[in-house]
Amino acid sequence: MPGFSTRAIHAASRIPVAPQPPLNVPIYQSATFEVGSAEELAELLEFRRPGHSYSRYSNPTHAALESALAELEGGEAAIVTASGMAAIHAALASMLSPGDEVLAPLALYGGTYAILTGLLARFGVTARFVALTDLDSVRSAIGDRTRLIWAETIANPTTEVPDLAALSTIAGAHDISLVVDNTFATPYLANPLTLGADLVVHSLTKYIGGHSDLVAGAVIGSAQRVAAARRVVIDAGGNAQPLEAFLALRGLKTLAIRMESHAATALAVALALEGRPGIRRVLYPGLESHPQRDVARRELRDGLGGGMLAIDLDGGRAAGERFLSRLRIAVHATSLGSAETLCSHPASSSHRQLSEAELGAAGLTPGLVRVSIGLEDAADLIDDLGAAAG
């Protein structure tokens, strides 16, 4: 009889056969998978056979999330990654070579700005920043080296809504790609692939996870483009983790009702705060005063404005900091898409890498605070945010 350790290890590896499928996808917490032959392993490593070999390449819990995200975004395939930034890295690194140029918006997620101007710049990729809401300046910024246009469905943090269908037409006419960060809108509010985008990226950390308890990302698009992104993830080790994939799958089940609630409350807060003394401007795509309200009405489900708003306070940086210190219900924290309302001051946090001139060009005034409306009762948030602003 084999020794105790041998028997313990084999006994503990018996996979239960469950005739009744569980309601939820199991967490396949395993780095590796047993194969029947060297040939089978070689085929799995090259994705020539369905199945899994090693969790940096693929994993059943990841695969379940990938197929759900592909379906909800209208893509052929998806890959889930360690974070939103790993997804952004995989998308960019799979499409660009030294000498290529990216057109990106002035108002842009800080991490995307950082990878474009830092890591990728060191590898010979240049970035040119334009206002994506000004289609003429987009057209005139495209040059011989431009390979792709990067857009956010709803821009961070100014809530601009670029016309993705028009950008996709421009990209197509120049034989370049359109990649869209759909984190703020989620697949519930918008499907950029159906508007002509070539690739969509997400930070699942935000609305899809929905509870600020995971960090993960995803790239979604055609099978060919996703295979190229997967190659980058395998080589750079940017794979997701099974527990995070499980939590993101759980989040997907309630995404629609959470987004409806975030949007209804955000609109109520925006309407209540717009025009109050001490508040210069409320930027929210659901408000009639929003500069791209028409685009939002076309592009976002039922014309909803999402859950993010920007409040521009009188009194500049000091007013922004005072706002954060006065909050009683909303939480001063970075990130977004939580059950809790989260507030931040981009000029001193997420966008601190930008110079004063760049902040100004991006519409990021020093008194601007970013609010991720949570799932609390609207009346309580109106009181809390109103008192903090006033």
Ligand X SMILES: *Cc1c(COP(=O)(O)O)cnc(C)c1O
Q: What's the closest the beta carbon of residue 111 comes to ligand X, in angstroms?
A: 5
- Select the span of 7-15, 202-210, 269-277, 278-286 touching ligand X (CB under 6 A): 202-210
Nearer to ligand X, 82 or 389 (CB): 82
- Select the span of 57-65, 201-209, 258-266, 317-325 touching ligand X (CB under 6 A): 201-209
Binding mask 88-127 for ligand X (x = CB under 6 A): ---------------------x-x----------------
- Catalytic residue among 100, 163, 181, 198, which? 181
Query: Counting contacts by CB under 6 A, is residue 206 touching ligand X?
Result: yes
Nearer to ligand X, 142 or 219 (CB): 219
Amino acid at 223: A
Cis bond upstream, residue 366 (ω within 30): no
Report the candidate in 87, 101, 102, 111 with the shortest Cα–Cα distance to residue 132. Answer: 102
Nearer to ligand X, 206 or 230 (CB): 206
Distance of CA 168 to the CA centre of its chain: 19
DSSP 145: T
Pairing of strands 217-221, 199-203: antiparallel
> Can you tell me whether residue 236 is helix, strand or coil?
helix
Question: Judged by CB under 6 A, which of 95, 107, 120, 215 binds ligand X?
Answer: 215
Q: How open is the CA angle 281-364-219, to the nearest 5 degrees? A: 110
Separation of alpha carbons 324 and 319, rounded Å: 9
Question: Is residue 109 annotated as a catalytic residue, yes or no?
Answer: yes
Pairing of strands 177-181, 77-81: unpaired
Question: Is residue 28 annotated as a catalytic residue, yes or no?
Answer: no
Q: Read off the tokens for 165.
A: 């269908």
- Select the span of 21-29, 200-208, 224-232, 352-360 touching ligand X (CB under 6 A): 200-208
Q: Which residues are catalytic?
A: 56, 109, 181, 206
Name the residues that contact ligand X, by CB under 6 A: 83-85, 109, 111, 152, 156, 181, 183-184, 203, 205-206, 215, 217
